[in-house]
Chains A and B, each alone.
Chain A
Amino acid sequence: MRRRVFLAVISAVIVTPFFFSGCAEDPYIPQPAVDEYVFRVPSNFPQPVYNFANNTVSEAGFKLGRKLFYDPILSRDNSTSCASCHQQASAFAHTEHRFSHGINDQLGNRNAPPVYNMAWLPYFMWDGGINHIESQPSGPITNPIEMDESLGNVIAKLSATPAYRAMFTDAFGDDTITTQRMFRAMAQFMGMMVSANSRYDKYMRGETGGEMNAQELSGLSLFRQKCASCHTEPLFSDYAFRNNGLAADPTINDSGRTHITQNPADMYKFKTPSLRNIELTTPYMHDGRFITLDQALNHYTSGVVAGPTLDPLLADGIPMTAQEKADIITFLKTLTDISFTIDHRFSEHAVSHEH
């Protein structure tokens, strides 16, 4: 009870200005943050790229972002939500399909990547075409083979839904629904999706549950020698664009980074993916051509195709013995963060609008 009174007073101070038009320009500060909805940098992580200071996470903003992420209202025919292609059990990747399936079951030509640790990404998509977490949802929403909806229509549909007007009011102080508010709420949700509780993380932080056996430790040291120059710890990516020597698929002819820069020097380069939760996110590579981690590692030993843009680090492939591969794969499985895949905050919730 005491807490409730306290909350009422706090909220009074915060909401009161809105009853007086003269203060309409004051920035709205939503209700005090509850611990679960505070963004925290894991102690073994660097500072994030996304600046939460301009979009402070609140419980209301986060829950609004979550509702939007799970709601097919963002697609033209209300059939497809973000979660249709990004599922929590697989760290928000899409595991059944090599290519993502969108509206009318149309096939895309890229593999849906997992969604976690998005606050650390300098750019989004395999080709880095999207430069900001707040701009990211506009890509799938307007993509004709994903959700095929216009931003204007999304705003009209949300504005016509009383539950959304209530949730926007809770998150932003009034029921004006704009793309900016929608995208900021989604950035709160996706930005909070931090995966940093794998066994590897606990090992690095010296926490209980962080024990690694001899084979895993051998895998870690091999990984640091052979893979970490691109899949750099602790995020397991350097977020550079690189050609890791996959044979180009002539039926898709995906030029990668060149699609964005028009620069021939970027041909077949893709953003180095993180390898966290890799055990859960099959299929692998931008076109999902590999099903197993064995196949992915065999690529590096024997599948690397030479070409003008091949990364120089891979000029001779990566020599590994069968034992070394087995050790690396055993290590990669310590990057699985099951707590992330069952964290109730990120699961779909039946939304009832009440406090």
Chain B
Amino acid sequence: MFPKKYLLGALLAGAFVFSSCKKENPQPGDDGTPATGSLTVSLSTNVNGQPLVLGTQTYLNEAGDSFTVSMFRYYLTNIVLYRPDGSTYVEPESYRLISESQPGSLTFSINGVPPGDYSSMRFMIGVDSTRNVSGAQTGALDPANGMFWTWSTGYIHAKFEGTSPSSPGAGHMVAFHVGGFNGPHHGIRGVSTSFGTARASVSTTSTPTVFFDVNLAEWFKNPNTISFATEYNNTGVNPTNKMIADNYADMFTLNHIQN
């Protein structure tokens, strides 16, 4: 705590600085700043159409291996919203850690969006190279979240862990930690979704929700079929890392938009 002698000075001086304080929540329009709205994103995870349940529920991958899922997490970052005329809203500080074990992370709001009709959305799976080389980060990017390699510093963009009887690993474990932010095998992937003829109509009073289906099975197919008999544990930036990332690049599909 501050020593008493400074505290006294602080209180005395307070009167002079108080007036310079900014309002925390300015009301739209009342100080000349443009009024904004919000857009909600809701993610629903499935494995080839079956809802994802962590734990004992079993699924099949493309190679025919049965598997369970104990962990599914990824970074969803750098969101940009597009209007039909090509103008954009680039969300500042756009970093979210989506974690299947934390259902709250599957629905989130993008705030500060200028009112208007939006026709597509882009984002990244993974953390951009800049934040990988900028030192200590906080919030979603806090390395204490367990999505960071400390021996070869950089973010783990996405993690899948589970078991499969096909896996020769200890306890039949399967683990894929995808990382890397430069070089030929990095795991960052851009996702671009057009809303087709639909529009997400943002206004100061109405908040549209964009519903995405996230198909975990995509990690292990298209274009690269991954069999857990041979690939079951990969936690480095190598050709397998790239194969998984190439696969998961299309795990998002737009379901519908609710205005």
Residues of A at under 8 Å CB distance from B? 4, 7-9, 11-13, 15-17, 19-25, 54, 129-135, 138-139, 141-143, 150-152, 155, 166, 169, 178-180, 182-184, 187, 259-262, 354-355
Contact = CB atoms under 8 A, between A and B. Distances in A.
A17 B17 contact: yes
Contacts of A13: 13, 17
The A interface, classified by DSSP as helix, strand, loop or mixed, is helix
Interface stretch (B86-94, B132-140, B166-174): B132-140
B5 A135 contact: no
B157 to A, nearest CB: 16
Interface of B: 1-3, 5-14, 17-18, 21-24, 132-138, 142-144, 146, 148, 150-154, 183, 185, 236-238
Contact of A15 (B10, B135, B137, B154): B10
A44 B133 CA distance: 28
B148 A138 contact: yes
Given A11-B2, A179-B142, A179-B144, A135 B13 contact: no
B14 A8 contact: no
B145 to A, nearest CB: 8
A119 B7 CA distance: 35
Contacts of A7: 6
Given A15-B6, A152-B144, A178-B142, A131 B12 contact: no
A43 B236 CA distance: 42
Contact of A12 (B9, B136, B142): B9
Contacts of B10: 11-12, 15-16, 19
B144 A155 contact: yes
B185 A183 contact: no
Nearest to A135: B153
Given A4-B5, A260-B152, A22 B136 contact: no
Contacts of A9: 9, 13
Given A12-B12, A22-B23, A22-B24, A180 B151 contact: no
Given A13-B13, A16-B10, A261-B183, A129 B135 contact: no
A139 B18 CA distance: 43
Nearest to A175: B1
A355 B3 contact: yes
B132 A11 contact: no
23 contacts: A12-B10, A13-B13, A15-B2, A20-B14, A20-B18, A22-B21, A24-B24, A25-B22, A132-B134, A132-B135, A134-B135, A139-B151, A141-B150, A142-B150, A143-B150, A180-B136, A180-B137, A182-B136, A183-B135, A261-B183, A262-B237, A262-B238, A355-B3
A139 B154 CA distance: 11
Given A9-B13, A17-B17, A143-B151, A135 B144 contact: no
B143 A8 contact: no
Nearest to B3: A355
A142 B152 CA distance: 12
B44 to A, nearest CB: 29
Contacts of A20: 14, 18, 21
B17 A16 contact: yes
Given A12-B12, A19-B11, A22-B24, 11 more contacts: A11-B10, A12-B10, A15-B6, A17-B17, A131-B153, A132-B135, A135-B150, A138-B153, A139-B150, A180-B138, A183-B136
Contacts of A261: 183
Shortest beta-carbon contacts, A-B, top 6: A134-B135, A12-B13, A8-B9, A183-B136, A151-B144, A12-B9
Contact of A16 (B14, B134, B135): B14
A169 B185 CA distance: 42
A184 B134 CA distance: 12
Contact of A134 (B132, B136, B154): B136
Contact of B142 (A11, A21, A23, A180): A180
Contacts of B132: 131
B153 A262 contact: no
Contact of A150 (B3, B6, B23, B144): B144
B99 to A, nearest CB: 14
A48 to B, nearest CB: 13
Contacts of B143: 135, 138, 151, 179
Contacts of B3: 354-355
B1 A11 contact: no
B152 A129 contact: yes
Contacts of A354: 3
Contacts of B5: 4, 8
A17 B21 contact: yes
